[in-house]
Amino acid sequence: MDIKSAIENKTILVTGGTGSFGNAVVDRLLTLNPKKIIIFSRDEKKQFDMGNKYNSDKLRFVLGDVRDRDSISHAMYEVDYVFHAAALKQVPNCEFFPMDAIRTNSIGAHNVIDAAVENGVKKVVVLSTDKAVHPINVMGMSKALMERIMVAASREKRGETELCGTRYGNVMYTRASVIPYFIDLMKGGKPLTVTNKKMTRFLMPLSDSVDLVLYALTQGENGSIYVRKSPAATIGDLAQALVEIFDYKKGIEEIGIRPGEKMYEELVSREEVARAEDKGDYFQIKPEVPGMDYRQYYFKGIDGSHILPEEGYNSANTQQLNIEEIKNLLLSLNEIQEELKNWNNRQ
């Protein structure tokens, strides 16, 4: 199924749709002639701003919370597809308020999936994170539970709804991510603070994250999780690239790893390697057991042959960008070009 025919004249619901991903996916969907795009979120101010930004009669805004089963179920009426992006994403907040992370990221996903099944939605794509792989913080743990909730529901095969997921690492220039944080530090005349210069992170433009969810929508199999192949860089090199682009003189300061941080991001775990298939620009991670036969879970193993390194797919063993390559990637972002123009005007 190609993307245009999949989207044309269809109704799509985006939970958490006023965030960075929501705006990016709406940009793309509006070019594909959908019948309606429903933006479901908690923030009425962001909904108001987004409505003014697009001024499109194809957009409908629904105020609600994925924690509230009734509100999400009401929003699902006559919906064809769901992109579930609503989440608590900030690691420190989830550490201090773990039950809130569970209610939104785990139970909220359960509510979305159940409401989709009950309303006959054709397909749901849930958006996960590298932090769900070998999770060491509450944000990752709650997202790992979301993935398992999706896989478990896919086994039940209630109704006609198909379920799949996507998993990605650092998406460049999303709200509260490291690149706009560095730029804010430069605007404030402060050194760029990094926790550890050798720490590696995937570098994925926001457009690639939209490609990933559209790929999962059109090609995704029930219960599978999809990963986009991406290059990576050390945080030290990323900071240095920004210093050179903006000709910034305050330098870089290393402050030490914070609680809940990893030295590298993982998108396919060591345990998932044997279930991963190469799909060109993507990896597909199939569920351990596709059906409800418990005997397979306990007594049937997995073929040990695989296409990935034994340690899985992570930001330390993917393609590593050097500083010049990072600068070229950064300069391809419209946000960086705008910041650079404003920066030069200030000098």
Report the phi/psi class of residue 73: left, alpha or beta, with left for phi > 0 and alpha for psi in -120 to 50. alpha
CA distances from 163 to 150, 154, 168 (A): 7, 6, 17
Q: How many other C-beta atoms are found inside a 10 Å radius of the C-beta of residue 201?
A: 21
Evaluate whether 88 touches 101 at the Cβ level (below 8 Å): yes
pLDDT recorded at residue 344? 87
pLDDT in tens, 207-218: 999 999 999 999
Q: What is the pLDDT of residue 306?
A: 65
pLDDT in tens, 284-339: 999 987 665 666 655 565 555 567 888 899 999 999 999 999 999 999 999 999 99
Please tell me the distance from the alpha carbon of residue 222 to that of residue 286, in angstroms, as a whole number. 9
Q: Are 19 and 204 in contact (CB under 8 A)?
A: no
Q: Is 131 a catalytic residue?
A: yes
Over the stretch 146-192, which tens digit does the pLDDT of each residue have? 999 999 999 998 899 999 999 988 888 887 789 999 999 999 999 99
Can you give the pLDDT at residue 139?
95
Q: Which residue has the tokens 């608590």?
A: 88
What's 4-41 look like in SS3? HHHHCCCEEEEECCCCHHHHHHHHHHHCCCCCEEEEEE
Structure-block tokens of residue 219: 């090609």
Q: Is a pLDDT exceeding 80 seen at residue 54?
A: yes
Write down how long the chain is.
347
Q: 3-169+205-229+268-311 adopts what CATH topology?
A: Rossmann fold (3.40.50)
* Catalytic residue, candidates 10, 89, 123, 131: 131
**Each residue of 119-132: pLDDT tens digit?**
999 999 999 999 99
Residue 278 DSSP class: E
Q: What's the CA gap between 333 and 314, in Å, rounded?
A: 24
**Within 10 Å of residue 312's Cβ, how many Cβ atoms?**
20
